[in-house]
Amino acid sequence: MEGLHEEKTKYLEEMGNVLREDVIKMLVEAGSGHSAGPLGMADIFATMYFHILSHNPKKPEWPERDRLVLSNGHICPIQYAALARAGYFKLEELMTLRKLNSRLQGHPHRKSLPGVETTSGPLGSGLSQAIGMALAAKLDHARKRIYCLMSDGEHQEGNTWEAVMFAGKNRLSNLTAILDRNNIQIDGYTEEIMPLEPLKAKYEAFNWHVLEIDGHNPEELVDAVAEAIAIFEKPTMIIAHTIPGKGVSFMERKYEWHGKPPNKEEAAKALRELRTLGDRIKSEHQ
């Protein structure tokens, strides 16, 4: 993976917002789906698909490709947008999200759409599947890397911690997990529903290498992934602090927007905001 130069960083930041616009359009057309998570993860998806991943949209089955496992399947609109923008399928198809006969299922299905590496939706089982892929890569002496994108809420699932334990025990250094730490879940704030902190200390206790980044900063993600690639004795967890609903002021940090789509008026307002953002998505402290 190459480092980032200024121009590429700007491109990724802009791409993040292009994906956000796609997501708003898709959700309003679908009439159901999740808003906050996909918007919050837009910059990470842009950086993954347009810089970090070794993949070929024209050959989605290329065996040596890196794998991106989306564990929290409900944020799939952002993955679909990234896949379409990367060239896996035509942009028009994005508007079929959640409709009859569409390849863009409400929660992702591996067999439906090229580029989708696993079927997910029920939470807490993505990291284990990524582990399976990482084990297979090790058995095959393959150099591909496995990335697992996870939510914070799914750390309330027992299956998640079973996976964390296994990856630590087996020192799966070809596995990198990225945690969308946006602090919300359907019923409220994670720390109210079922506290997860201290997440960093927990992962470290399970023998993981842990990094924390601003999830809206492509440079920080690229740096963290570069560090993960250089760590040979442990899997790496990148805790990405994100703002749910990022880019749309009336959705930001509101758990009420976890599981619902914008209506037409809200969508128009959201798109107006996003169009004026350009590359100015970085968090204030950057």
Partner 1 sequence: MSLLGRRSKCLSPPTIVYINMLNPDTKPNPKIFEEDIEMAPTRDGYGLGLVEAGERNKNVVALCADLTESTRAESFAKKFPERFFEVGVAEQNMATIAAGLGVSGKIPFISSYATFSPGRNWEQIRTTISYNDSNVKIAGHHAGISVGPDGATHQALEDIATMRVMANMQVWVPCDAIEARKATVAAAKIWGPIYLRFGREKTPVFTTEKTPFLPGKAEVFWSPKGKADVLIAGCGSLLYNALLAARELEKEKIHVYVLNSHTVKPLDEHRILLLAKKAGAVVTVEEHQITGGLGGAVAELLARRAPMPMEFVGMENMFGESGSPKELIKKYNMDVRDIVHAVKKVIKRK
> Least separation, in Å, of the C-beta of 166 and partner 1?
6
φ and ψ at 250, to 5 degrees? Answer: -80, -5
What residues line the site for partner 1 (CB under 8 A)? 63, 69, 109-111, 117-122, 124-125, 128-137, 139-140, 158-159, 162-163, 165-166, 170
> Least separation, in Å, of the C-beta of 168 and partner 1?
12
Q: Between 112 and 286, whose beta carbon lies closer to partner 1?
A: 112
Q: Between 25 and 144, whose beta carbon lies closer to partner 1?
A: 144
CA-to-CA distance for 152 and 215, rounded, in angstroms?
Answer: 13
Q: Between 20 and 65, whose beta carbon lies closer to partner 1?
A: 65
Q: Between 1 and 136, whose beta carbon lies closer to partner 1?
A: 136
Burial bucket for residue 159 (CB in 10 Å: 0-12, 13-18, 19+): middle
Question: Which residues make Cβ contacts (< 8 Å) with residue 130, sequence separation at least 6?
Answer: 67, 69, 71, 146, 147, 148, 175, 177
Q: Between 47 and 129, whose beta carbon lies closer to partner 1?
A: 129
> Least separation, in Å, of the C-beta of 41 and partner 1?
21
> Least separation, in Å, of the C-beta of 141 and partner 1?
11
Residue that has been written with the tokens 């969308």 in this structure: 180
CA-to-CA distance for 21 and 12, rounded, in angstroms?
Answer: 14
156: left (phi over 0), alpha (psi -120 to 50) or beta: alpha
CA-to-CA distance for 72 and 88, rounded, in angstroms?
Answer: 21
Burial bucket for residue 227 (CB in 10 Å: 0-12, 13-18, 19+): middle
Q: Between 120 and 185, whose beta carbon lies closer to partner 1?
A: 120
Query: Across the strands, what pairs with 179?
Result: 150, 239
Q: Between 217 and 236, whose beta carbon lies closer to partner 1?
A: 236
> Least separation, in Å, of the C-beta of 138 and partner 1?
9
CA quadruple 149, 5, 90, 248: dihedral positive or negative? positive
> Least separation, in Å, of the C-beta of 125 and partner 1?
4
> Least separation, in Å, of the C-beta of 159 and partner 1?
4
Task: Judge whether 112 and 88 are in contact, CB under 8 Å.
Answer: no
